[in-house]
Amino acid sequence: MNDSGGDSLILVLNCGSSSIKFALFDADQTPLARTPAWSGKIEGITGDAPAFSASDGAAETLTLDCEHPYHAALTYLRQRIVAQLHGRRIVAIAHRVVHGGSKYFEPVRVDAAVLADLKSYIPLAPLHQPFALEAIGALLAELPQLPQVACFDTAFHQSMPTVEKMLPLPRWAWDQGLRRYGFHGLSYAYQSQVLGERYGDGARGRTIVAHLGSGASLCAMRNLQSVATTMGFSALDGLMMGTRCGALDPGAVIYLMEIGKLSLERVARMLYHESGLLGVSGVSSDPRELLPREGEAPVREALALYVRGIVREVGALAATLDGLDMLAFTAGIGEHQAVIRERVCAGLGFLGVAIDPVANAAHAPVISSAASRVKVVVEAANEEWVAATAAAALVHV
């Protein structure tokens, strides 16, 4: 880590079910630099080969306690972060928390009462919520005076109109909190800022951002505010993903349970962990591994289904916007998979989308051609900076 910065640091933790991403930002810079002083991740926490990697080139294969691998990973990460401080101090920790329910619409400093509230939302986001809260709880117990800030993926979508939040269920379901909340909000919050900075009014019209990673969703924006999104009530909604099914006829679930006699737990595992690109291809959830194997029919069909779903949902969101001015790709697949971008854009020709193959292959910031009626751009994700900035503002560092 560069030792030339200030004495105060903000730590950002993004805890998933099998990985922990982290970043340290220099809190003495105003505004915060968008590139962290040090960052990295622990991957494969629940697998056979967990590994640590960092932006300074550090890498290590880990051996974690098989009974409590997540706790062991947090302990290891804490040791590595302390070793990087070099006399500096962490003044706040920002956490990406997927769900704020219908109560938390802004970042909030976490105490025992807030933590209890957030635990009540675990059923709304069982794949992610428990792991962020485990980290918060452990740190709250050990370092109660250190400010911790929860930043919510659902918060960005509070600007959606009520008609986009409602589900076509009996009214009592709405009263009990069953609604379309929207996710990937920290990613979209960054896009709403950076696209405005780069493209001005060109981004403030009818814009769709495609967050395509292991999880995936689309967000329709007007004036860079969310007006509709594909991932609504749960991480199973909207687009087909790496291991998740995306939008699915609920009758298929009823069939699996009634006729197939699958338990609730078995169906949940299938929909969350065994479907999507992995399930259809039978090979992998990663397009990097699938694209070279398109000669195999299941792989080819999986990729075609993935692209078709994105095209369909972009078309639906364009209808809610009355057209489309800008399409932005972000996150791992969106930023790095030129072939996927090319195929998606080819399917959107009816909207006037046309790309420059050379610019697309080079992952240029603008990949649309001069003839395109829609500006198509590629923009890196930066959820960690959004969370760090929110923490800095909230705790006045």
CA angle centred on 82, ends 77 and 83, rounded to 5°: 100
pLDDT digit string, tens, across residues 31-88:
899 999 999 999 888 778 889 999 988 888 888 888 888 888 888 898 899 988 888 9
Among candidate residues 153, 175, 201, 325, the one labeled active-site is 153
Could you tell me if 17 and 5 are in contact, meaning their C-beta atoms sit under 8 angstroms apart?
no
Q: Which residues of the chain have pLDDT under 70?
A: 1-6, 397
pLDDT digit string, tens, across residues 79-131:
899 988 888 999 999 999 989 888 889 999 999 999 999 998 888 877 778 88
pLDDT at 2: 47
Question: Domains (ranges, CATH) in the chain?
Answer: 8-152 (3.30.420.40), 200-378 (3.30.420.40)
Instruction: Determine phi and psi for 292, rounding to 5 degrees.
Output: -70, -10
| Gyration radius of the chain's alpha carbons | 21
pLDDT at 397: 59
> Does 184 appear as a known binding residue?
no
Phi-psi region of 360 (alpha: psi -120 to 50; beta: other; left: phi over 0): alpha
pLDDT at 202: 94
Element (H, E) at 27: none
> Does 262 appear as a known binding residue?
no
> Does 45 appear as a known binding residue?
no
> Does 215 appear as a known binding residue?
yes
Whole-Å CA distances, 233 to 86, 182, 223, 250, 328: 43, 7, 24, 14, 23
Could you tell me if 32 and 392 are in contact, meaning their C-beta atoms sit under 8 angstroms apart?
yes
pLDDT at 84: 87
pLDDT at 5: 58
> Does 322 appear as a known binding residue?
no
The C-alpha atoms of residue 56 and residue 153 are separated, in whole angstroms, by 28
The C-alpha atoms of residue 211 and residue 218 are separated, in whole angstroms, by 6
249 is catalytic: no
pLDDT at 383: 93
> Does 214 appear as a known binding residue?
yes
**To 10 degrees, what angle do helices 264-273 and 250-258 make?**
140
Q: State the distance between the two ends of the chain, measured CA to CA, in whole angstroms.
A: 20
> Does 308 appear as a known binding residue?
no
Could you tell me if 7 and 89 are in contact, meaning their C-beta atoms sit under 8 angstroms apart?
yes
Cis ω for the linkage preceding 123 (within 30 of 0): no
